[in-house]
Amino acid sequence: MSPVSRIRSTPDDPNGIVRQYAANAPFRSATSEEMVNHDNPFRRPVRPHDLGFLDYAEPLPADEALRLRGLLGHRMLRTVYDADLLFLPAGGDDHPSRRDAAAFRSAENRILGRKAAVVLEDHLFSWLDEDRPELAGTGVEALVRHVQGVLEERLAHPGRALRVAAGCRHRREAALFSLVQLTAVHPAALSAVGRNLLGDYDTAHPALRGLLLDDYRDRAGRAPLYRRLLAAADLSAEPYAYWQFLLSSALGTANHLHRVAHDHERFGEFLGAWTHHRLDEAATAPARADLVRDGLGIEHPAYFADAPRPSADDLAALVTALVGPLADRYGEEAVTAFHRGFEDARRLAAVHDEDLAVQLDWADRLDEYRVKAEKLDALIRERNIEVDLETFVESHEETSTTHVHDDHRLVVVEVGQMHFWNNVNQQIPMNEGDKLLIPAERLHGSMVLSGTCTYHQPVISDELLAQV
């Protein structure tokens, strides 16, 4: 068995800070009854026991953004941003959500959360400062040209994830998982806009509050369509019902909006990120509507079908109205900040698109990954290949909160039975002798069904995987 090294920490170093924060009761690992969280908006399983071997002291490189510390980091960061937003318990004094609400709202949680946010933001977002494309030209006119160009590109190519979902054999499951990711982003956009409605900035930017208010009214007005869409798909609209099924990339795009809205030093970046979000919503809405019609049989998904569709001229007017007064006051600094926020949001959206595409493709072809697992297991045995191995012995209903691995893994059940899942409302039985290949960075969880279950996880290198 390959030993897992625990990273030493003190309460005041980066790892100690995030561990202290994640020790709060609402962030405890999930139980067998918490695969879906229908009635407790404060319950956010993080897998705090994993933090002992994850290092948050250094920034996460771009090519490792989807690894386990990215997923758990974004889960923690989302809870920090939500700490000053209104969520209501689902029941009275005896309801579990009351206890979690008290812990979530506590002064200690808020203080630890703000300390953790400094660590997590640096760890999760520093890679965006590398290789950021420069704006071609200067001034608001250059911004307008760039934003219009991105709109044209996105309208022509709404995203690989939507193409993969449309081509899945199990389109219903693909459509459901895609909708679940929306539950990370939809409330974040509403909250981000709402944060910046408050303040006294009318002399600096007389039109801004009205622009934000118009967007907020539209989003609030379309909220019933959002809830109706989820209900038609047999999904819950309760906050974070599907917390465990949110990809780190979905949380990342949403957390970026929260970050730039929350930190007023990044106000120009907020305007850029918000503009990109509006553009992205418009560019992907038709394909999302088609996916929901085809996969779920919802004839008129109004949330997508009737979504605002700003034209190139509309975006030109918006960018000019947003940045013009700031450029007059602050010069090129305002243009640069807007571009930085827009480009960072664009790159995060691209990461999410690819992440979702790969997740959907894997989930749709699990039968093929069972075959690959059998071949890999046979290859390891026949050639006596030494691989790192982790073995787990778990008891009845012991549950593994959804997670990813930083490497490719086989799951080989030696004794007992378990349920495996990588989507909502889906439990895949695994019995003695069953094997499955889980590629690196693919979200999944499990629960033991038998009295005990012994299973092994051989680590598969890229070179070994290429042989099957």
Q: Which stretches of the chain drop beneath a pLDDT of 70?
A: 1-6
- The per-residue pLDDT for 367 is 97
Shared-domain flag, residues 104 and 143: no
Does any domain span residue 1?
no
- The per-residue pLDDT for 91 is 80
- Which CATH number characterizes residue 450's domain? 2.60.120.10
- The per-residue pLDDT for 1 is 33
Does any domain span residue 158?
yes
Shared-domain flag, residues 350 and 402: no
Shared-domain flag, residues 305 and 451: no
- The per-residue pLDDT for 5 is 59
Shared-domain flag, residues 62 and 49: yes
Does any domain span residue 7?
no
Q: How many CB atoms lie within 10 A of CB 89?
A: 19
- The per-residue pLDDT for 2 is 38
Of the three residues 108, 128, 148, the one that is the final residue of a domain is: 128
Of the three residues 302, 337, 364, the one that is the final residue of a domain is: 364
150-172 confidence digits (pLDDT tens) = 999 999 999 999 999 999 999 99
Shared-domain flag, residues 401 and 287: no
Tell me the sheet residues that pair with 419.
429, 447
Shared-domain flag, residues 22 and 162: no
Shared-domain flag, residues 207 and 329: yes
- Which CATH number characterizes residue 152's domain? 1.20.910.10
Shared-domain flag, residues 216 and 180: yes
Shared-domain flag, residues 111 and 152: no
Does any domain span residue 197?
yes
Of the three residues 82, 98, 128, the one that is the final residue of a domain is: 128
Does any domain span residue 4?
no
- The per-residue pLDDT for 425 is 86
The rounded distance, in Å, linking the Cα atoms of 184 and 17 is 25
Shared-domain flag, residues 334 and 389: no
359-372 confidence digits (pLDDT tens) = 999 999 999 999 99
The rounded distance, in Å, linking the Cα atoms of 336 and 317 is 18
Nearest in space to 282 (alpha carbons), one of 311, 260, 302: 311
- The per-residue pLDDT for 9 is 72
Does any domain span residue 8?
no
Does any domain span residue 417?
yes
The rounded distance, in Å, linking the Cα atoms of 232 and 429 is 27
Shared-domain flag, residues 216 and 283: yes
Domain count along the chain = 3
Does any domain span residue 264?
yes
Shared-domain flag, residues 97 and 198: no
Instruction: State the residue range of the domain holding 162.
Output: 135-364
The rounded distance, in Å, linking the Cα atoms of 262 and 66 is 24
